[in-house]
C-alpha cells in the first residue's frame, strides 16, 4: 500500500482536471447509525470508552487547555465551530494496548481517489504521552468488524496512512489541526463500496501506561480527480533544481495560483511561494510531493530536498 499523497504524474506533461467530492463528513453532528464503534483494547473499562463527538461545555480550568481552546474555553474543530470534531482518549483501556475503532458508512471509491482528514492531540501541555492513529479501509460487501482483541483488524487490511507510526514523543503527533492524506489503490478503476476505519492504536497505554493521551479528528473527505473534457493541454511544467537545497523554480506557461508540499506520510508542510519560486529551506532532507495549482488544474510531482 503506497502511503504518499498522490501518484506522481510524468514530470514533462500536465493535464487539465476537475475535482469532485465523493464523500464529506465534518463531525458537526453526532454519529448516525451508519457509523460503527468498537473498543477492542486490552482490559477495557467496565463501560468501554468509545469514539465520541466532542461535547465540551468548558475546557480545563487547570494548567492545560484542551484542543487549543484556551483555559476555560470550548474547543473548536478544524472547521465548523465549537465541538465540531470527534475524539478518543487514554481511558480506552485500564492498562495494555488500545485498539479503539470508528468505522464509516459505505463510500464508493476507485483507484486514485484521495482521502483527507485532519487530526491533532487534545493537550496543549508540555508533556507528551505518545499517540498513534491508523486509517484503514475494507470492502463494504465483505466487511468484518474487529472483535477479538487489540491485534484483530477484521477485514480492514488496507492501511492508508499512520500518524506517528513509531509512537515517538516530542509531539510528533501534532498539537495543531494538521491535514493527512492518501490515495486509494487496489480496488479497481470502477467505483466500489468500501468502509473506512479510524483506529486509535497505542501500546503501553492507559492511565498507568507510558503512552496515550487524547486525539481528535475532523474534516474527513474523499475526492476524485477526473480529466476535464476537451481541455487536455500539452503545456509543460518544469520543477528545478531537483534535488533542491533552498528554492525550487517552477517553469512553464501556466499562471500559478498556489502550491502545496506534502511529506511521504501525507502531512502537509508549510512552504512559501514567491512568484514562481518555492522556498524549501526549512524542509528536512528527504523526498516530498509538490502539488502545483494553475488555471488549468492541479499537477503534482516528486522532488528531493538535500
C-alpha cell at 53: 463527538
The reply to whether 15 falls in a domain is no
164, 197, 226 - which closes a domain: 226
Contact indicator for 290, 278 with CB cutoff of 8 Å: yes
CA dist 42 and 78 (Å) reads: 31
What SS3 string covers 182-231?
EECCCCCCCCEEEEEEEEEEEEEECCCCCCCCEEEEEEEEEEEEEECCCC
The reply to whether 275 falls in a domain is yes
Instruction: Count up the domains in the chain and report the number.
Output: 2
For residue 64, what pLDDT is reported? 65
Contact indicator for 181, 135 with CB cutoff of 8 Å: no
CA dist 282 and 292 (Å) reads: 19
On whether both 139 and 30 belong to a single domain, the answer is yes
On whether both 73 and 166 belong to a single domain, the answer is yes
C-alpha cell at 70: 484556551
CA dist 51 and 217 (Å) reads: 10
CA dist 273 and 257 (Å) reads: 10
**Residue closest to 106 by CA, chosen among 35, 52, 161, 156:** 35
The reply to whether 5 falls in a domain is no
The reply to whether 78 falls in a domain is yes
CA dist 123 and 64 (Å) reads: 7
The reply to whether 11 falls in a domain is no
CA dist 268 and 4 (Å) reads: 11
Q: In the chain, what are the helix, strand and coil shares in percent, each to the nearest 5?
A: 0, 45, 55
On whether both 244 and 214 belong to a single domain, the answer is no
183, 202, 226 - which closes a domain: 226
* Contacts for 22 with CB less than 8 Å, ≥ 6 apart: 107, 108, 109, 113, 222, 223, 224
Q: What angle do CA 252, 255, 257 make, to 5 degrees?
A: 125
**CATH number where 253 lies:** 2.60.40
226, 251, 286 - which closes a domain: 226
For residue 254, what pLDDT is reported? 63
The reply to whether 49 falls in a domain is yes
Segments forming the whole domain that contains residue 57: 20-226
On whether both 49 and 162 belong to a single domain, the answer is yes
Q: Any idea which residue has 463501560 for its cell? A: 47
On whether both 197 and 293 belong to a single domain, the answer is no
On whether both 141 and 288 belong to a single domain, the answer is no
| Total residues found in the chain within this entry | 306
Residue 44 carries which DSSP code? -
On whether both 209 and 246 belong to a single domain, the answer is no
- φ/ψ of residue 171, rounded to 5: 60, 45
Residue 63 carries which DSSP code? S
CA dist 10 and 299 (Å) reads: 10
For residue 233, what pLDDT is reported? 39
Q: Could you read off the pLDDT tens digit of each residue along the chain, which spans 306 residues?
A: 333 333 333 333 333 456 789 999 999 999 999 999 999 999 988 888 999 999 998 755 555 678 988 766 889 999 978 999 999 999 999 999 999 999 999 999 999 999 999 999 999 888 999 999 999 999 999 999 999 999 999 999 999 999 999 999 999 999 999 999 999 999 998 999 999 999 999 999 999 999 999 999 999 999 997 654 333 333 467 888 989 999 998 887 567 888 888 887 677 888 998 888 899 999 998 888 888 887 777 777 888 898
**CATH number where 48 lies:** 2.60.120.200
On whether both 206 and 70 belong to a single domain, the answer is yes
Model's pTM, two decimal places? 0.73
On whether both 181 and 126 belong to a single domain, the answer is yes
The reply to whether 285 falls in a domain is yes
The reply to whether 142 falls in a domain is yes
Amino acid at each position: 500500500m503506497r502511503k504518499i499523497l498522490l501518484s506522481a504524474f510524468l514530470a514533462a506533461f500536465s493535464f487539465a482536471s476537475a475535482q469532485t467530492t465523493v464523500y464529506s463528513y465534518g463531525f458537526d453532528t453526532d454519529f448516525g447509525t451508519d457509523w460503527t464503534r468498537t473498543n477492542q483494547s486490552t482490559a477495557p473499562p467496565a463501560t468501554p470508552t468509545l469514539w465520541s463527538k466532542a461535547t465540551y461545555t468548558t475546557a480545563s480550568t487547570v494548567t492545560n487547555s484542551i484542543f487549543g481552546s484556551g483555559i476555560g474555553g470550548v474547543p473548536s474543530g478544524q472547521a465548523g465551530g465549537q465541538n465540531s470534531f470527534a475524539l478518543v482518549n487514554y481511558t480506552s483501556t485500564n492498562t495494555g494496548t488500545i485498539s479503539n475503532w470508528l468505522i464509516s458508512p459505505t463510500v464508493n471509491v476507485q483507484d486514485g481517489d484521495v482521502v483527507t482528514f485532519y487530526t491533532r492531540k487534545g493537550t496543549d501541555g508540555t508533556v507528551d504521552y505518545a499517540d498513534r492513529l491508523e486509517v484503514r479501509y475494507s470492502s463494504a460487501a465483505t466487511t468484518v468488524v474487529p472483535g477479538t482483541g487489540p491485534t484483530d483488524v477484521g477485514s480492514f487490511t488496507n492501511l492508508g496512512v499512520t500518524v506517528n507510526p513509531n509512537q515517538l514523543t516530542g509531539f510528533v503527533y501534532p498539537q495543531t489541526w494538521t491535514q493527512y492524506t492518501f490515495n486509494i489503490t487496489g480496488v479497481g478503476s470502477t467505483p466500489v463500496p468500501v468502509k473506512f476505519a479510524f483506529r486509535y492504536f497505542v501500546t503501553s497505554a492507559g492511565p498507568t501506561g507510558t503512552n496515550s493521551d487524547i486525539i481528535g479528528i475532523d474534516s474527513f473527505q474523499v475526492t476524485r480527480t477526473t480529466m476535464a473534457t476537451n481541455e487536455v493541454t500539452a503545456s509543460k511544467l518544469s520543477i528545478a533544481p531537483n534535488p533542491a537545497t533552498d528554492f525550487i523554480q517552477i517553469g512553464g506557461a501556466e499562471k500559478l495560483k498556489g502550491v502545496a508540499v506534502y511529506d511521504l506520510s501525507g502531512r502537509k508542510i508549510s512552504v512559501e511561494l514567491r512568484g514562481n519560486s518555492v522556498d524549501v529551506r526549512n524542509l528536512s532532507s528527504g523526498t516530498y510531493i509538490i502539488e502545483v495549482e494553475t488555471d488549468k488544474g492541479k499537477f503534482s510531482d516528486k522532488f528531493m530536498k538535500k
